[in-house]
Amino acid sequence: MVLLTDRYAEKISGVLSCFDRVVIQGTLPTFCYAEGMTGFLYFKKIKIFDYPRFAEPLRDELRKNAEQAAKQNSLEIEFIRKKNFRKEDRIRDILSARGAHPGLVHIFSAMEPCQTYKPWHNKQTNKTYLRPDDGKCLHYYFYVIDEQLGLCYVRVPTWCPFRLQIYFNGHSRLAISLNDKDIPFTLMDNVFAAISDLDRAQSLSDHFKVETLHQRLDLFAERYCPIIKQFDFRYHWSIMQAEYATDIIFKHQKDLQLIYGNLTRTAIHTVKPDNIATFLGRKLDYRYQDEMGNNFNTRIEGTRIRHTMGPVSIKMYDKFGLILRIETTVNDVSFFKHYRLVEHRDGTETKKLAQMKKGIYSLTALQQLLLAANRRYLEFISAIDDPTSGIGKLDKITKTAVERSRSYKGFNLFDDQDQSLFQSIASGEFTISGFQNKHLRRKLFGKTSAQISRMIKRLHAHGLIRKIGRTYKYYLTKLGSEVITMGLKIKELVVIPYLAGNLALT
């Protein structure tokens, strides 16, 4: 199969695959379940109904820490009151004035839902314990430009069990690495419009060190959630969401625009549930119960097509009319299976196909699976017919052709005389033995031999027929067969029925 990257090699400056949005969740193992929190309070000899008293000083310490961070960096904590407030837009404005040097960029605060616990006494068992509950608490968003990860945010709730959420962007992380290696690039929003050395950039993107990420996550936790210093606990980091993008970078917007509309229109009608499953490396059977489907929408930046299968989606959209992006997003990495070591209850280990673990050390294997999904989708859309070749063929037959300093006018698919000529040479009797001047005279009544000769020369000049050896016989070319068949179909199956239907209504 010829991929898009091969078909348009002269129009494409390169291809880059990279993690885009990655969201990590941090949980304190002892606090993350009601049973563990209950056991901790009993161990510390704290009454269960004194749970709020235990949590309140921790909340106050987190508030104080946020205020100190703001003061040290000459910032004001911005409280968000509107539901439709876009933090990304505000940060973009701040960065345009501040610059992209490392450090704390801004702090937001907002009252948001959180999972918490509620003291409970069970009268039937006469036991007192904590049970899961939903509530609201103040959250802080610390936006920071990290020296290794680039632009990140750390979301810190001020109420127990203090589940952290940390976001970073793989393109921002790669930009840091490119700067360190003195590789020039142009970054627009979260997409590279140009990189001087794409091979080295891809290598830097592929060598994603999870150990380094782990160190930075622990540092964020110590800095922005300092209450953990009071306990002998460390955060466990797991993948909440990951996006992996493959960007095909075109040299000019017009080159992408010529094919993008056809790609999205065709994909929205041709991608079926079994195709989506294939993209994601799954087999679809009757046991699958989650939602599946296609979605097409128009955004400010352009249009986007999205195919979903449960917690995973694969998208195709254009960035700035210059980059064709294929992106796979997963909200539950256990959707994927891969070969890994599986620990058994008896302590033994075997390597087998199993669901992916949610811990951050699955990022390396996840990178390969998401890249494979992007590639399968790229192979699928590469099979979609190229409209630019159709435009070229149409120009070839409709515009004037010049042969041996003599011009021959183009053909009109709706002209009666041209239609009669097409019907004559498309006759089945000429398929095997070809046709000659005398054969066309029998079909085109009233035409002289000289007139037929000029018609034949005109057909030959436009590449619709070819002459066989040293004979006077002619055959339809592949182009001629395609054009004539399509011209007759348009008239018989589209134009005439459409006009007949509209006339009947009037």
- Residue linked to tokens 């505000």: 90
C-beta atoms surrounding 289 within 10 Å? 6
Helix residue spans in 145-197 (DSSP H): 170-180
- Residue linked to tokens 């017009």: 254
Structure tokens at 64: 């104080």
Q: CATH topology for 388-505?
A: Arc Repressor Mutant, subunit A (1.10.10)
In this prediction, residue 194 carries a pLDDT of 92
Structure tokens at 147: 């020296």
Residues in the chain: 506
DSSP secondary structure, 56-80, as one string: HHHHHHHHHHHHHHHHHTT---EE-
Q: Are 413 and 492 in contact (CB under 8 A)?
A: no
Distance from C-alpha of 256 to C-alpha of 242, rounded to nearest angstrom: 27
Closest CA to 316 of 378, 243, 386, 387: 378
All structural domains of the chain with their residue ranges: 388-505
Helix residue spans in 34-169 (DSSP H): 34-43, 51-72, 87-98
What does DSSP say about strands 191-195 and 185-188: parallel, antiparallel, or unpaired? antiparallel
Distance from C-alpha of 227 to C-alpha of 162, rounded to nearest angstrom: 9
Residue 354: CA count within 13 A, CB half-sphere: 12
Closest CA to 368 of 317, 331, 333, 323: 333
Q: Are 155 and 166 in contact (CB under 8 A)?
A: yes
- Residue linked to tokens 């539901």: 83
Distance from C-alpha of 259 to C-alpha of 387, rounded to nearest angstrom: 7
Distance from C-alpha of 110 to C-alpha of 283, rounded to nearest angstrom: 43
- Residue linked to tokens 């002209």: 415
In this prediction, residue 446 carries a pLDDT of 86
In this prediction, residue 385 carries a pLDDT of 61
Residues 6 or more apart whose CB falls under 8 angstroms from that of 16 comprise 192, 195, 198, 201, 202, 205, 246, 247, 249
Partners of 14 in beta bridges: 249
Distance from C-alpha of 321 to C-alpha of 90, rounded to nearest angstrom: 24
Backbone φ and ψ of 85, nearest 5°: -70, 130
In this prediction, residue 504 carries a pLDDT of 52
In this prediction, residue 56 carries a pLDDT of 95
In this prediction, residue 247 carries a pLDDT of 96
Q: What is the pTM of this model?
A: 0.76
Q: 10-residue block means of pLDDT along the chain (506 residues)?
A: 80 94 94 91 93 94 97 96 90 92 96 94 93 94 96 96 96 94 91 94 92 96 93 92 96 90 83 86 72 68 84 93 94 93 85 93 95 93 66 77 89 84 78 83 89 92 86 84 70 60 53
Question: Which secondary structure element, helix H or strand E, spans residue 232, and what is its range?
Answer: none
